[in-house]
């Protein structure tokens, strides 16, 4: 899986705009949380699609961006958490052990 680092608040509007043409996935990850490490490992080992842009947010370094994500896409902050963005909106959100690559592809309409 090719992760795009999410490090700047300006990227959020770009992600929202890009979601009009192709799904965008945001993965909010805490490197200190064993469940988050496990979820990322499952994503890295699972199937992915070149039709989705995969963004990785390091919560320990960029927590304010996580707050902006929650506001922009009207979701409650969790960690770990994945958000699938299509047509400018969050169409799927999952946390903790519920995060699977297969479910992401299914929700994106690619499986």
H/E stretch holding 102 reads: helix 101-107
Superfamily (CATH H level) for 3-107: Glutaredoxin (3.40.30.10)
DSSP string, 53-77: EEEEEETTT-HHHHHHHHHHHT---
Tens place of pLDDT per residue across the chain (111 aa): 899 999 999 999 999 999 999 999 999 999 899 999 999 999 999 999 999 999 999 999 999 999 999 999 999 988 999 999 999 999 999 999 999 999 999 999 997
Strand partners, 4: 55
């Amino acid at each position: 899986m090719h992760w795009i680092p999410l490090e700047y608040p300006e990227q959020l509007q770009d992600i929202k705009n890009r979601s009009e043409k192709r799904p965008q996935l945001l993965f909010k990850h805490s490197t200190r949380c064993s469940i988050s490490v496990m979820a990322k490992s499952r994503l890295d080992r699972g199937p992915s699609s070149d039709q989705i842009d995969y963004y990785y947010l390091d919560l320990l370094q960029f927590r304010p961006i996580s707050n902006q994500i929650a506001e922009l896409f009207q979701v409650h902050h969790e960690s770990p958490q994945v958000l699938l963005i299509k047509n400018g909106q969050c169409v799927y959100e999952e946390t903790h052990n519920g995060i699977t690559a297969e479910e992401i592809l299914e929700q994106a309409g690619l499986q």
